[in-house]
Amino acid sequence: MGYFANLYTVQVEENKKGIQTELRVYGKGLQDGAAYVCWGDGVRQPNNKLHEYADGTVVCDAELKLLTGYPYLEQSEDPHQCILEATFNPMHKDDAVLMHFMLPKRFIPRKDLKPLVQPVSPYIFSHKERLCIVYPCKGPTTVQFAISKIKEHESLKDFQTERLLHPDEVRAAKVELEINFIIFKFKITL
């Protein structure tokens, strides 16, 4: 949650031709400053006067204006995987931008495929059997990652979804030497 000058949404849908991506960029206007934006799956109180975006997974205290040239549609012919790319340069170099991706049902992000460009570690949550990936950013921003469809026998519950795009933990190398002299056992760990 926070104050953002722009909201960049990428809604990805599976269709008969493959995978369709719809990009939208919203802003408050030249003089209006930042809007309070929050994201996540849950139930909000009625009459809260919040405006919904991206199937209700993002809400805002202001009605945001769709920027000229949007929505923009892209089509990928591969029905099982594609690369998602989003680049945005806000009006001011220090403006906060919320990058929000909504994947199709049964798709997950892949950190093991290239390219993988992330400005920050993302927030990942599920909404109606779809994963949402959110990057709160500042200034010019580029996000790139691959998505792929999970196998028929798998479900989103089989994955640790909140960690799918987070860096793996780096563990210190452990060297062990064990010498066994029948009676004595000597072990050194470095």
pLDDT tens digits, residue range 105-139?
Answer: 999 999 888 899 999 999 999 888 899 999 999 99
For the stretch 17-44, pLDDT in tens is 999 999 999 987 655 678 889 898 766 6
Q: Quick one: average pLDDT of 77-102?
A: 92
Copy the structure tokens of residue 172.
């210190």
Beta strands in 16-164 (DSSP E): 18-27, 35-39, 51-53, 58-60, 65-66, 72-76, 81-88, 96-102, 107-110, 123-127, 130-138, 141-149
CA distance between the termini of the chain? 44
Q: Taking the model in full, what pTM does it have? A: 0.81
Counting residues of the chain whose pLDDT is more than 70, the rounded percentage is 82
The reported pLDDT for the residue numbered 7 is 93
How much is the average pLDDT of 53-63? Answer: 89
* Residue type at 166 in one-letter notation: H
Residue 172's pLDDT band (cuts 50, 70, 90): very low
Range 66-86 average pLDDT: 91
Angle (CA) 108 39 34, round 5°:
130
Tokens of 107: 């798709």
